[in-house]
Amino acid sequence: MDDAPPNPWLSWRYVESNWTELSDQLTIHTTLTLQAVAIALAIAFPLAVVARNVRWLTRPILGLTGVLYTIPSLALFALLVPFTGIGRTTVLIGLVVYALLVLVRNILAGLEGVDRDVVDAARGLGYSKLRLLWGVEIPNALPSIVAGLRIATVTTVALVTVGVVVGYGGLGQLMFRGFQSNYRAQIATSVILCLLLALVLDLAIMLAARAAMPWARRRRAS
C-alpha cells in the first residue's frame, strides 16, 4: 500500500496541467446556468402575473409547479432523454423547469405582498393596469423576486452536475471522472470551482439588486 503513488486532495500541478479542460467545463457550467435562469425568468414572469390576475388559475399553476418540483432531477432527465436525446438540450430543459418553479413562487409571493394602500393610491392617481404593474407592483415586489432569483441560481449551479447522466454535467463531469479513476485532486478542484461559481453568481445578483434598488439602501441607512 505504501508504494501507491500520492493521491493528494489539492494539487496545483493538476490545475496547471489541466487548466484548459477545467476552464472549458467551467465555461459550460456557467453558460448553462445563466441561460437556464434567464429562460426561466422570461417564462416565470408572465406565468406569475397570470396566476395572480386570473384567480381560478392560481391553484392549478401553483399545484403543477409543486408537483414538478417534487420530481427528482435524475427522473426528469430520464423522462426527457428518450425525446430530446443525450446532451445539452435535455439538461437545459431540466434546469429551466426547476428554476421556473422557484421563480414563479417567489414572484407571486412578492406581488401578493405589495401593500394594498400603495396599489390603491396608484390606482387613485389614474395608473393603468400595465403601468401599475411596471411602475408600482414590480418595484415593490423586487426584494422577493431577487431572493427567488438567488435561490434559483444557486440551486441551478448545483443541479448542473446531475447532467453527467446524459454526458453534459459541466464540472460534474470532472467530479464523476475523478470518482471513476479515484483521482482526488480532480474531484476536489471541480467541487471547489462549483462552490466558487455559486458564490460569485450569488454575490453578483446581490450587488446588482442593490444597485437597482437604491430606495432599499436608503431605508436601511435612515
Q: Return the half-sphere exposure (C-beta side, CA atoms, 13 A cut-off) of residue 215.
A: 5
Exactly one of 49, 88, 155, 206 binds another protein (CB under 8 A); that residue is: 155
Selected range binding another protein among 20-28, 88-96, 121-129, 150-158, rule: CB under 8 A: 150-158
Cβ proximity of 98 and 33 under 8 Å: no
Interaction between residue 158 and another protein (CB under 8 A): yes
Cα 103 to Cα 39: distance, rounded to the nearest angstrom: 11
79 interacts with another protein by CB under 8 A: yes
Query: How many angstroms from the chain centroid is the CA of residue 130?
Result: 27
Q: What is the rounded CA–CA span in Å between residue 58 and residue 48?
A: 9
Residue whose C-alpha cell is 446524459: 166
Q: Which stretch binds another protein (CB under 8 A): 11-19, 114-122, 186-194, 208-216?
A: 186-194
Scanning 13-21, 89-97, 134-142, 158-166 for contacts with another protein by CB under 8 A, the matching segment is 158-166
Using alpha carbons, list the distances in angstroms from residue 206 to 102, 143, 149, 198, 199: 17, 10, 10, 12, 11
What is the SS3 assignment for 182? Answer: coil
Q: Which stretch binds another protein (CB under 8 A): 17-25, 123-131, 132-140, 165-173?
A: 165-173
Nearer of residues 53 and 128 to another protein, judged by Cβ: 53
| Binding mask of the shown chain, residues 4 to 23, with x at each position contacting another protein by CB under 8 A | ---x----------------
**Calpha distance 156→65 (Å, rounded):** 16
Residue numbers at the binding site for another protein (CB under 8 A): 7, 58-59, 62, 67, 70-79, 81-83, 105, 108-109, 112, 151, 154-155, 157-162, 164-166, 169, 172, 175-176, 178-179, 182-184, 187-188, 190-191, 194-195, 198-199, 202
